[in-house]
Every structure is written in C-alpha cells, then in structure tokens.
Structure 1
Amino acid sequence: MGVDYPSFILSALCAIGGLMGYSRKGSVPSLFGGLGASLLYGTACYIMKSNGKFGIELALVASVILLLAGLARSFDTSFQKPVPLLLLALGVLSGGFYAKKLSQVQRALR
C-alpha cells in the first residue's frame, strides 16, 4: 500500500496551522494542538504505508480530536470565526472519510 495522502496532507496542515497560531498570536495551545494532531496523522500515515495495524483507526481518532477541538472553539466564538469552522469542517470530512475506509476494510475481512 502506498502513502495515504489524506493523512499526509492533514499532518502537514495541522503542523502549519499550529505554527501559524503560535507565530501570529503567541498561542502555545495552538502550537501543541497542531503539532500533536500532526504527529497523530503522520504516525497513521506511516502505519498505513507499512501495512501495519490500526493506522486507519489512529487517523480516525485524530479526526475526532480535530472535530472536537473545532467544535469547542466554534462554540466559544459563536460560530463566527473562520479558523474554528475550518477545524470543524476538516474534522467532519476526515472523520467521515476514515470511518468509511474503516468500514470498507472491516467488510473486506469478513
């Protein structure tokens, strides 16, 4: 199996987002959150590339964390700021993608 491009791209986006949040606003939570999510997606990508176990599940967990972070920040800003909405949208889309992918793999194993 080749590189899982969605997890690779999400890893890069999360790292860039965390670094941007830190450089623009001095937000340490953004830095650690972005780099942490990037690490999860990057690890999932590596596991899937090497045909290891639980790569899809790890990507799904990272997506749920991204979704929850976006939801929490969206509530705090009354759904008015673009960055929390972007986190929420990425979490929903990637979560749906990896949930579907996990379902397909489980069906194929039956």
Structure 2
Amino acid sequence: MNDDRAHEFLLEDLSVGAHAHGFGRNAEGQAFAFRVRGSTLHVEVYRDDLDTDVPEEADVVAVAERGVNDIDLTDERSIAALVRDAVAEARPVEGAEGTLRSLLGRIGGVIDGI
C-alpha cells in the first residue's frame, strides 16, 4: 500500500438497520466504533496505541453523536457518510487519560483481578 492510502478513513465492518453498528479506522489511523441506538449515532474514537480488540472506557479519546432521522439506515452509503462525518468531527473526551496513565490503569486492573 502506498503512503497516500496508508491513512484513509476505512470502515472495516458495517451492519445496517435500525441498530446499525460497525468499526474502522479514521484518517489518522485511530480505531473507532459506532452504533445506532434509538435515533442517535454514537461514535467512539480510541487512543493511538490501542493493542486490544475490545477497547475499554479508558481507551476512548474522542466521541461524537449525530441524529439519524434524516438518513436511510438500510443504505450502507448513507450510514458510511454519516459515520465518516461524525468521526471527523469527534470531540476530545474531557479528562481523557494519556497513554501512560491508561497503561498503568490496565496494569492496576490486572493486579486487582489476581
């Protein structure tokens, strides 16, 4: 893959319908996930150095919400466009932890579980 395409918005999974959901990578290469609940699209963007397939709350660095009343939830292109716009406009989470703090939190969780 050439460098021009290395960091493009990419939807790796997209399920359509009233409970549409999926995941992918933004233009900066960060993982994100989205889901539709009720009439709202919820997007979570995760930290750069994410090393797990199942992110935790501490891994979320930005969020976005968008209404879905004006789009066709059975059309992949409509959902993809809405998700792309929401990911691009995601706002940083207040108090988002840095990489070191997040890592220490994970280690603490493992130690607590022992």
Q: Which has the higher helix share?
A: 1
Q: Which has the larger radius of gyration?
A: 2
Q: Which has the higher strand share?
A: 2
Scaled to the shorter chain, the TM-score interval is under 0.3
Normalising by the residue count of structure 2, what TM-score does the alignment of the two structures yield? 0.24
